[in-house]
């Protein structure tokens, strides 16, 4: 039930995104292209704002982080050194029946999304196989079998087998997966071992590894010598240019290099709207720190998390912090940032990866998750990667990645903390978080349902709507245009003179515009001089309107959007 509600909610959000020009399917007139999405007029502004705020908070407002903008196509050896050529793979199977490709590790997840997969799951309530409901279901009481499943499923044989098992305690299917295997296969020898195709129930081939990097060739003739890859992450460019930045930027360890840019992953099954797409954008920071032993040599003691009294200590970076304190610092910094752009702390989760989940080079990884309607999923990973990446590039290129620390009089390969965020999934989180349905009075005061996008003013695509009360009164229009021109150099303005004022408000509510300014006859001084050059300022969320002097609009609004 909750699941259906979540699916319906996502459908309404996807529909709003299309209708309001936030997100369109890429190449829609040609039937779209799976895993690629375009940002429309509002979406492009929302994305620009988010990237700008990230960059401002990390690069402009700090002395210890500097920017970089590297190419998407790099020398292919970069990806050999980083390990991506050899290990950036997913397991993939082909269905022998319907020939579709499936990510083998996602089969059960995909299955659970199919209506018939959900039906099967219901046949094992509490891990108890029940013959009667299965029988009813299979005989067609309202639930259609998947076409492929119907073809290969010999139900009488399956039921006979299950009856036989019922005689031997412990051998009956305990889970939907096990039951599905019973249904999907005719061959008792492989029962419970065959993975079913989530699309048709057919048999999948054993998994093969396939590399997620998009391949291309640089130069006019395709050959093995000039293969190149579209970067699957922006991070490696930062490691590759570490020495150049160090030598030209006057930075000293600890310091960071930040980059925003496109990355590409040839996902087998892109899904959840823009959450997992094939072309996406990342915002990555590599923050280089002293190895603990250098800190110890310098400060006598390494500040460890256990030594510090709570989070209060974690706002002012200290040179004698050990890696685990830096790591925790960045986790907290990043969560603070998400809160600053309007994601409530309660919508976020902090997930510390278990030792067995960590990549072999990682000392610790924290995922910051957002509670999407389709599940709680990762927005950002913050990994303590040690000196793995710089050392790999040093080994492969033969170029030193060492840093000479003048204060410590020591030469070392810096360690790194990597806060790595996905722009598109953050945009999706902001959209899900902003989406609200409530009631608002129409022009006659009757309450009607409205959709409001409660974007934080900082990220809202349009900051203020400017409306002359009537479009056929030149003096109102002239004044409204003057207000538009006053505000426009400082914030994004949408000027709208079409239709009843209530409908214009409603349109801006759906666009998530936090403020509305209406120029009426009072503004012109027709009700007396005390209201002259005042306008109504309307708040999107409370729908309250107040009278504000035109001169006071900028001083009032600017602090709210910065």
Return the residues of window 70-89 that contact a copy of itself according to CB under 8 A.
70-75, 77-78
CB-wise, 31 or 555, nearer to a copy of itself? 31
In the list 116, 264, 374, 388, the residue contacting a copy of itself (rule: CB under 8 A) is 264
In the list 1, 167, 221, 312, the residue contacting a copy of itself (rule: CB under 8 A) is 221
**The tokens of 380 are what?**
């950002």
Pick the piece of the chain touching a copy of itself (CB under 8 A) from 196-204, 247-255, 312-320, 344-352.
247-255
Residues 359-398 that bind a copy of itself (CB under 8 A): 393, 396-397
The full 3-state SS of 266-326, as one line of letters, equals CCCCCECCCCECCEEEEEEEEEEECCHHHHHHHHCCCECHHHCCCHHHHHCCCCCECHHHH
Q: How far is the CB of 347 from a copy of itself (least distance, A)?
A: 25
The full 3-state SS of 497-518, as one line of letters, equals CCCCHHHHHHHHHHHCCCEEEE
Residues 45-64 that bind a copy of itself (CB under 8 A): 45, 47-48, 55, 60-61, 63
Q: What whole-number distance in Å separates Cα of residue 371 and Cα of residue 433?
A: 9
Cβ proximity of 24 and 40 under 8 Å:
yes
The full 3-state SS of 451-486, as one line of letters, equals EEECCCCCCCCCCEEEEECCCCCHHHHHHHHHHHHH
CB-wise, 70 or 159, nearer to a copy of itself? 70
Cβ proximity of 187 and 153 under 8 Å:
no
Q: What whole-number distance in Å separates Cα of residue 419 and Cα of residue 333?
A: 10
**Three-state SS at 103:** strand
In the list 67, 83, 133, 319, the residue contacting a copy of itself (rule: CB under 8 A) is 67
Q: What whole-number distance in Å separates Cα of residue 65 and Cα of residue 245?
A: 11
In the list 49, 66, 392, 518, the residue contacting a copy of itself (rule: CB under 8 A) is 66
CB-wise, 138 or 228, nearer to a copy of itself? 228
Q: How far is the CB of 468 from a copy of itself (least distance, A)?
A: 13
The DSSP output letter for 345 is G
In the list 10, 50, 58, 92, the residue contacting a copy of itself (rule: CB under 8 A) is 92
**Three-state SS at 220:** coil
Residues 440-479 that bind a copy of itself (CB under 8 A): none
In the list 20, 265, 290, 506, the residue contacting a copy of itself (rule: CB under 8 A) is 20
- Residue 281 neighbours by CB under 8 Å, 6+ apart: 47, 51, 260, 261, 262, 263, 422, 423, 424
Determine, following the binding rule CB under 8 A, whether residue 430 of this chain makes contact with a copy of itself: no
Residues 268-297 that bind a copy of itself (CB under 8 A): 268, 278-279
| CA dist list (Å): 484 to 205, 260, 490 | 63, 32, 10
The full 3-state SS of 356-393, as one line of letters, equals HHCCCCCCEEEEEEEEECCEEEEEEEEEEEECHHHHHH
CB-wise, 230 or 368, nearer to a copy of itself? 230
Q: How far is the CB of 437 from a copy of itself (least distance, A)?
A: 20
Q: Which has the closest alpha carbon to 281: 543, 39, 13, 6? A: 39
Tell me the site size for a copy of itself, rule CB under 8 A: 85
Q: How far is the CB of 489 from a copy of itself (least distance, A)?
A: 7
**The tokens of 338 are what?**
């998400």
Q: How far is the CB of 234 from a copy of itself (least distance, A)?
A: 11
Q: What whole-number distance in Å separates Cα of residue 111 and Cα of residue 118?
A: 8
Residues 478-507 that bind a copy of itself (CB under 8 A): 488-489, 492-493, 495-496, 498, 507
**The tokens of 424 are what?**
């598109």
CB-wise, 220 or 310, nearer to a copy of itself? 220
CB-wise, 178 or 397, nearer to a copy of itself? 397
In the list 206, 220, 449, 528, the residue contacting a copy of itself (rule: CB under 8 A) is 220
CB-wise, 248 or 376, nearer to a copy of itself? 248
In the list 10, 13, 43, 84, the residue contacting a copy of itself (rule: CB under 8 A) is 43
In the list 3, 5, 11, 27, the residue contacting a copy of itself (rule: CB under 8 A) is 27
In the list 249, 315, 436, 527, the residue contacting a copy of itself (rule: CB under 8 A) is 249
In the list 142, 170, 206, 219, the residue contacting a copy of itself (rule: CB under 8 A) is 219
In the list 2, 4, 31, 355, the residue contacting a copy of itself (rule: CB under 8 A) is 31
């Amino acid at each position: 039930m909750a699941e259906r509600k979540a699916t319906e909610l996502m459908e309404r959000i996807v529909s709003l995104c299309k209708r309001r020009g936030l997100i369109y399917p890429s190449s829609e007139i040609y039937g779209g292209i799976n895993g690629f999405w375009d940002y429309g007029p509002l979406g492009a502004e929302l994305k620009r704002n988010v990237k700008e705020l990230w960059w401002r908070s990390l690069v402009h407002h700090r002395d210890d982080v500097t920017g970089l903008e590297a190419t998407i196509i790099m020398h292919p050896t970069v990806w050999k050194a980083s390990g991506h050529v050899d290990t950036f793979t997913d397991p993939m199977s082909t269905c022998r029946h319907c020939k579709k490709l499936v990510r083998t590790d996602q089969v059960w997840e995909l299955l659970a999304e199919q209506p018939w997969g959900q039906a099967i799951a219901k046949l094992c309530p509490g891990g108890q196989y029940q013959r009667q409901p299965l029988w009813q279901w299979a005989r067609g009481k309202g639930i259609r079998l998947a076409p492929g499943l119907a073809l290969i499923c010999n139900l009488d044989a399956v039921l006979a087998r299950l009856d036989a098992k019922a005689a031997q305690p412990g051998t009956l299917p305990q889970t939907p997966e096990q039951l599905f295997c019973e249904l999907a296969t005719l061959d008792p020898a492989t029962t419970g071992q065959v993975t079913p195709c989530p699309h048709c129930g057919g048999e999948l081939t054993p998994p093969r590894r396939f590399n997620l990097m998009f391949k291309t060739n640089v130069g006019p003739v395709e050959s093995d010598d000039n293969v190149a890859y579209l970067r699957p992450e922006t991070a490696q460019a930062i490691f590759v240019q570490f020495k150049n930045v160090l030598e030209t930027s006057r930075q000293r360890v600890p310091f960071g290099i930040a980059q925003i840019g496109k990355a590409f992953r040839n996902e087998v099954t892109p899904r959840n709207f823009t959450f997992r797409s094939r072309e996406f954008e990342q915002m990555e920071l590599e923050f280089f720190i002293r190895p603990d032993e250098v800190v110890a040599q310098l400060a006598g003691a390494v500040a460890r998390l256990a030594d510090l009294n709570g989070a209060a200590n974690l706002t002012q970076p200290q040179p004698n912090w050990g890696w685990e304190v830096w790591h925790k610092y960045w986790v907290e910094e990043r969560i603070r940032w998400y809160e600053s752009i309007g994601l409530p702390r309660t919508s976020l989760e902090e997930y510390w990866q278990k030792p067995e989940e960590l990549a072999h080079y990682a000392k610790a990884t924290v995922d910051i998750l957002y509670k999407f309607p389709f599940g709680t999923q990762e927005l950002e990973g913050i990994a303590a990667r040690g000196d793995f990446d710089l050392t790999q590039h040093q080994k492969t290129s033969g170029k030193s990645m060492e840093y000479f620390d003048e204060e410590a009089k020591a030469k070392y390969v810096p360690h790194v903390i990597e806060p790595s965020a996905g722009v598109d999934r953050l945009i999706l989180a902001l959209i899900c978080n902003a989406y609200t349905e409530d009631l608002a009075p129409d022009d006659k005061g009757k309450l009607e349902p409205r959709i409001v996008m409660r974007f934080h003013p900082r990220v809202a695509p349009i900051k203020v709507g400017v409306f002359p009360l009537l479009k056929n009164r030149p003096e109102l229009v002239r004044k409204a245009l003057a207000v538009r021109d006053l505000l426009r150099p400082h914030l994004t303005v949408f000027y709208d003179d079409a239709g009843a004022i209530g409908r214009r408000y409603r349109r801006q509510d759906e666009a998530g515009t936090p403020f509305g300014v209406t120029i009426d006859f009072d503004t012109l001084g027709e009700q007396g001089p005390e209201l002259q050059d005042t306008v109504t300022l309307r708040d999107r969320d409370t729908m309250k309107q107040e009278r504000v002097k035109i001169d006071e609009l900028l001083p009032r609004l600017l602090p709210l959007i910065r």
